[in-house]
């Protein structure tokens, strides 16, 4: 692979700083700098944006984001072993990279953005990736602090995020993402691109916020989808029965046939169900 800057190759960086990937942190380092540059370009334009990167590791994607023109990159890294390698990148790109040692689950996006456009671009650690996504798309204020999300997941998870009604992958994550975002698969990433190589193919997902999602109580939507997809083979009149004593009447009031099943419903229909069951929240388990 060709180099994208004059910093050392990533394999050399890993060897110099003894950065063996830790399974406990969900680490799989992406070493192909041309591939990381492709990820950065998927999030373009970056010239006027602050980019938040989670779990930069040895900094392959970090370097690509800076090469692609990101005005400012804020990299949040929980693994302190990676900080010296990231400091070398910061020195090479003075004033453009800020490294925060900490847990991305505790970061407030409004503090990162600094009032300007914020884009999140990350090869997310497998063990916290889905939770981070849910946190970002389920935030109380909408439109959110971020302008776009360009994220890597296991392909199975990526397919669930972009899934549409009627597909096997369609479930709670697809409803939540589709309700608030436009989501699309950008491209697949082979296990061979990583060190160590994971057992599964990964994929890049690109999400942008819908300006005005349908009015809906988030907690009600999460509970309705949990009940409906938790027993997806059952008809709605059975799967939603634990949510209210008059569940079937509420389903009808939402304009939906009680004999439908979860995978048959559109996002708009799930929003209608959530609104119909919102008044029964006290009976949710």
Sequence ranges of the binding site: 28, 30, 55, 77, 103, 123
Helices (H), the chain: 10-16, 33-42, 60-67, 83-92, 109-113, 129-137, 155-162, 172-180, 218-230, 236-239, 247-253, 267-277
**Which amino acids are annotated as binding site for S-adenosyl-L-methionine, given as ranges?**
28, 30, 55, 77, 103, 123
CA 7 to chain centre: 29
Structural tokens at position 49: 């944006």
Nearest to 213 by CA among 119, 109, 142, 135: 142
Q: How far apart are CA 2 and CA 33, in angstroms?
A: 8
Nearest to 228 by CA among 181, 161, 276: 276
Map tokens 């776009």 to a residue. Answer: 148
Q: How far apart are CA 25 and CA 241, in angstroms?
A: 39
Between the alpha carbon of residue 164 and those of residues 171, 231, 235, the distances in Å are 9, 18, 19
151: left (phi over 0), alpha (psi -120 to 50) or beta: beta
């Amino acid at each position: 692979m060709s180099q994208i800057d004059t910093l050392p190759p990533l394999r050399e960086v890993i060897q110099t700083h003894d950065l063996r990937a830790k399974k406990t942190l969900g680490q799989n380092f992406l070493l192909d700098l041309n591939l990381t540059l492709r990820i950065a370009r998927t999030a373009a334009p970056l010239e006027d944006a602050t980019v938040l990167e989670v779990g930069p590791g040895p900094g392959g994607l970090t370097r690509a984001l800076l090469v692609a023109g990101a005005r400012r990159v804020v990299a949040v890294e929980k693994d302190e072993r990676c900080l010296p390698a990231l400091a070398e990148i910061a020195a090479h790109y003075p004033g453009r990279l800020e490294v925060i040692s900490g847990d991305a689950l505790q970061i407030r996006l409004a503090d990162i953005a600094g009032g300007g456009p914020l884009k999140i671009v990350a090869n997310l650690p497998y063990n916290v990736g889905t939770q981070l996504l849910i946190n970002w798309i389920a935030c109380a204020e909408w439109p959110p602090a971020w302008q776009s999300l360009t994220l890597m997941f296991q392909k199975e998870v990526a397919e669930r995020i972009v899934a549409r009604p009627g597909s096997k992958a369609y479930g709670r994550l697809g409803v939540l993402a589709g309700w608030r975002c436009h989501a699309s698969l950008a491209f697949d990433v082979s296990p061979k691109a990583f060190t160590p190589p994971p057992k599964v193919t990964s994929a890049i997902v690109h999400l942008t916020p819908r300006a005005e999602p349908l009015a809906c109580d988030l907690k009600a939507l999460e509970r309705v989808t949990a009940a409906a997809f938790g027993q997806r083979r059952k008809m709605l009149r059975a799967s939603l029965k634990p949510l209210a004593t008059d569940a079937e009447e509420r389903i009808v009031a939402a304009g939906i046939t009680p004999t439908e099943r979860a995978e048959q419903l559109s996002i708009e229909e799930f929003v209608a169900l959530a609104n119909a069951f919102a008044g029964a929240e006290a009976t949710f388990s």
